[in-house]
Structure 1
């Protein structure tokens, strides 16, 4: 699904991402974890061709992402509120996204009914523009727009950060169901180790732009990550092995 080759990004002489090789297979649910400044968002933006690397390339289904368009037909992403059109209402924005994917208003409405629990009565028919919503509710709109697109690849950057506990639970179930029933490839970053290990069957740990560990999620993964982030480089459980 995704293959990264010799990908490197440098800002002001500092290497912020350096990934020699990485493969994410179709149908995998992958979590990306790391402290602030680890390079997670920069990596996401290069996968989505939002910024260009100094060296290397990203391939999606065998096609180079940079300069090509086909991958956009099956990829949905929400990294932050900058992905939204803030002067629209949620309904206007979601109908707009649906229209880009040749969906009628009635088809969009069918999907929105299925998302009613996720919205928790806080999004639709409130007469608010997206810019007037809380960051958590903006995130709900962003995630809903991704679901509308019926993607094969879904990328979310810190989706649990600003939403309430009930919505976190619903989002986790949604991601699991998309992966299980539709074989959607999920790539999700999060600082919440409980959520990310619950949702993802594979964890990538980044530090200073480098993926220092590629972990198949097991019953011990959460403890392993907690040990690492609890005592930093003194944690003996995680070593560079990829």
Structure 2
């Protein structure tokens, strides 16, 4: 999915959280969004997901043409006036996305059902995440609210990928995960992108993980994208280290 941000602005009182004049995310890219605390990363994601209303401007989405034809989706979607994008999008921002009074099995079955998957199809797709779950998510006989922070994170990420969306939005997905799970997640995201052609947006404070998986890295400062680095062969790492004084 290709995404176009046009004159997008969001203020909270006197503070400008997001101010992006024009920015294009091309179909099939993995975009790493980086910046210091308060740079506007989460606010930008919430605007793109229509969880916040922009003060000005808009977000336009252009689904993959072939997939859109198969699913009877318009060739251009404005999330502020259409719900069609929801069929093509998987996102996890924080644990408020979870229905935590369900077990993991119940939650995945619910996500599968609203995505048009049968229980059997959902169970089959969950096999792709067995290594990532590491035996700590399914079969636990407890509610999601009683999971560790890391396992809640895994549930949210898996749910975002379950319907194989055209657009994936993950805010700080490496948070709460142990080093082994972080490495598994990097492989999972990369393989998902390669196998589905999905556009993936990730925000992260972990520059190493971001550089390793992103095709482009956008640097956000005070709500403005001040640079967009091509990350072919990890070329963005040196420039990011210079910016963050590493």
The alpha-carbon deviation at position 220 of structure 1 amounts to 3.6
Per the TM alignment, residue 12 of structure 1 is displaced from its structure 2 partner at its CA by 1.3
User: Of the candidates 104, 112, 129, which is equivalent to residue 98 of structure 1?
Assistant: 112
Partners of 1:128 and 1:208 in 2: CA distance:
41
Partner of residue 43, structure 1: 44
- Which runs of at least 4 in structure 1 moved beyond 6 Å after TM superposition? none
Write out per-residue CA displacement over residues 79-105 of structure 1, whole angstroms, 9 at most, x where no aligned residue: 000000010011100000000011111
Q: Give the gaps of 5 or more residues in structure 2.
A: 63-75
Partner SS, residue 63 of structure 1: coil
Q: Is residue 226 from structure 1 mapped to residue 227 from structure 2 by the alignment?
A: no
> 2: CA distance between counterparts of 1:220 and 1:53?
33
CA shift for structure 1 position 134: 1.4
User: 1:157-196, aligned counterparts within 5 Å?
Assistant: 157-196=171-210
TM-score by length of 1: 0.93
- Alignment of 1:205 onto 2:219: yes
Counterpart-to-counterpart distance in 2, 1:109 and 1:188: 26
1:35-184 mapped onto 2 (5 Å cutoff): 35-61=36-62, 62-184=76-198
Q: Secondary structure at the match of 2:244?
A: helix
- Normalising by structure 2, what TM-score? 0.92
Q: Corresponding residue for 1:17?
A: 18
Calculate the aligned-residue CA RMSD, in Å.
1.0
Q: How many residues align?
A: 231
How many angstroms does 1:67 deviate by? 2.5
Distance in 2 between residues matched to 1:40 and 1:91, nearest whole Å: 31
